[in-house]
Structure 1
Amino acid sequence: MNPNTSPPANPARKPGWLSHPLLSLLLGASWLALSHSLEPVHLLSALLIALIVPRLLHPFLGEHSSIHWGAAVRLTAVVFKDIVLANITVARLVLGPLPRMQPAWLPVPLACDHPRVNALFATIITTTPGTVSCVVDEQRHEILVHALTCDDAQAMIDDMKTRYEAPLLQIFRQQPRTAAPGAGTTAGRAA
């Protein structure tokens, strides 16, 4: 090594075989569930998938982050409950008279810049029937959401932020931005 050159300040760390143990566990268990078998060939396949796929995905997944598991379990329960209730509500709207629907576009301000928080927030909104997150605008720090029906835009925005975004901030141990850009411009627009 040349004495005039110094090693890189932060060399890229090679991922270990279990750099994402939860993902490895989920992949292996999913493979076994899909194969409906505990034959040795399926066990070996599950092991190889559980070890190789997370290692290949490591550059895209980033480093392991500290997660508040209690908050994650609570949020999961809230989301499952909301999905069931929203399915019932959407079924009533769709099967009932159409004039009852009041679709709206809602710009929902984001409380932080954490990519996982914002991606999961948008995903939860989309998986809850009756709402679809259409655009995550990182420049304006907002998610554009289409609601199938909305009587009070601000109340719906506040509900999404309270039920989903606040727990996500807690799960990933993030602090909300003190002054969210565009915080005063959350009025819904007619669809």
Structure 2
Amino acid sequence: MRRLLGFLPLPCLLLVLWLLLNDSLSSGQILLGLIIALILSLLAPILRPVRSHPRRPLTALRLICHVARDIVQSNYLVSLRILQGHASRATPGFLDIPLRIHDPHGLAALACIVTFTPGTVWAGHDTRRHVLTLHVLDLSDPEGLTRIIQDRYERPLMEIFE
């Protein structure tokens, strides 16, 4: 029963999306959508060989709030730098940050967080040395940015995914 409950959300979501996209509740569309949803749901595990088992939903919620606040703040600071032009004295550059997280889902989440935040771009990840390379719009405080990435993003992601 538990396995069936874990399976049902994806086909139900796919069926609803199918019906919305076709703008029809006819019996033919429902049957066709149900067949497609079941087939795609059965094939979906093949596409995800590594399963994710996130834990600590409160930590995830706190991380989402931190990221949202950081995105708003970064948007403001980047827009100021753009409006100031050369007077902003921004010092762009690359920054190598050592990482402790190894879970592929956590790394993907970290990549999204870093890329969503204006002024920073995920430039590379060395899997042997576990080093993240970022391109930063203003690299005036590399130690501070390293601390933010490690403490504010990486540590909660490790709690959630590892």
**Shift in Å at residue 134 of structure 1?**
1.0
Partner Cα distance (1:161, 1:33) in 2? 43
Helix, strand or coil for the counterpart of 1:134?
strand
Query: What are the Cα deviations for residues 26-46 of structure 1, in whole angstroms up to 9, with x where unaligned?
Result: 954983797495x42577677
Of residues 118, 126, 129 in structure 2, which corresponds to 1:140? 129
Partner Cα distance (2:15, 2:63) in 1? 23
* TM-score, length of structure 2 as denominator length: 0.77
Percent identity at matched positions?
Answer: 31
Q: How is 1:27-66 mapped onto 2 (pairs within 5 angstroms)?
A: 27-28=13-14, 31=17, 35=21, 39-40=24-25, 51-61=38-48, 62-66=50-54
Partner Cα distance (2:62, 2:159) in 1? 11
Q: Which amino acid aligns with 1:103?
A: P
For the 8 Å contact 2:15–2:30, the answer to whether it is kept is no
Long gaps (5+) in structure 1: 1-15, 175-191
Query: What are the Cα deviations for residues 158-182 of structure 1, in whole angstroms up to 9, with x where unaligned?
Result: 111111111101111x2xxxxxxxx
- The residue aligned with 1:162 is 151
For the 8 Å contact 2:19–2:33, the answer to whether it is kept is no
Q: Could you say what the CA RMSD is over the residues aligned between the two structures, in angstroms?
A: 3.1
Q: Which has the larger share of helix?
A: 2
**Shift in Å at residue 20 of structure 1?**
6.0
Q: Which amino acid aligns with 2:17?
A: W
Q: Would you say how many aligned residue pairs link Structure 1 and Structure 2?
A: 156
**Shift in Å at residue 52 of structure 1?**
4.2
Q: Which amino acid aligns with 2:127?
A: E
Residues 1:80 and 2:68 aligned together:
yes
**Shift in Å at residue 76 of structure 1?**
1.4
* TM-score, length of structure 1 as denominator length: 0.67
Partner Cα distance (1:26, 1:87) in 2? 37
Residues 1:122 and 2:108 aligned together:
no
